[in-house]
Amino acid sequence: MIRIGIILGSTRPGRRGEQVARWVGERAGLREDAEFEVIDLLDHPLPHLDELPGEYKNAHTREWAATIASFDGFVVVTPEYNHSAPGALKNAIDFLHAEWRDKAIGFVSYGGAGGARAVEQLRLMCGALEMADVTPQVTLSLVTEFEDFTVFRPGEYNVTSLDKMLDQVVAWSTAFAPLRAGSPVAVA
């Protein structure tokens, strides 16, 4: 069965992403076409790029590479910080290359402008890593989807957007399986 990782892309204290990732995971858990698992970057403390690409000497890199290699696709839950994605998320993505290749990725973002600008930059990065980003995305405004800017209260219309994005991530991850089968992954 296809495995999709839901990456919680913020490590900031007081982050809103835990609520959003839980919502994504609960909705995804109703599906029978894939297995879903939340990957919290707090559980994978990575220093700032301390390895050469593909030469995984450190335990933290080998563990991160094995985690990412075990999934067929991803959904990234990301806030927008200063019109961009969080540094911890970019660092986690930059740590690897082969483990990301030929996998689908979708985005659930949140922020003042729904996190759309963070996703624009993440799409460019994912393209460079030979990932396939699906077009549907979920953008959550801190003004309309968070009570007092802190408690996540998604509207029903967000569920429709989430389902459409999940449909495509699962379909594309399934379609790319033959490409991944022939692709060597450099997990040391």
- In the chain, what percentage of residues exceed pLDDT 70? 97
Q: What is the rounded average pLDDT for all residues in the chain?
A: 94
The answer to whether 105 touches 75, Cβ cutoff 8 Å, is yes
The DSSP line for 8-41 is E----TT-SHHHHHHHHHHHHTT-SS-EEEEEEG
pLDDT digits (tens, 9 = 90+) for 118-134: 999 999 999 999 999 99
User: Is residue 113 a contact partner of residue 157, using CB atoms and an 8 Å limit?
Assistant: no
> How far is 138 from 36, CA to CA, in rounded Å?
17
* pTM higher than the cut 0.85: yes
* Residues 79, 15 contacting (CB under 8 angstroms): yes
3-state SS assignment for residue 75: strand
Please report the domains of the chain, with CATH numbers, ordered by start residue. Answer: 3-181 (3.40.50.360)
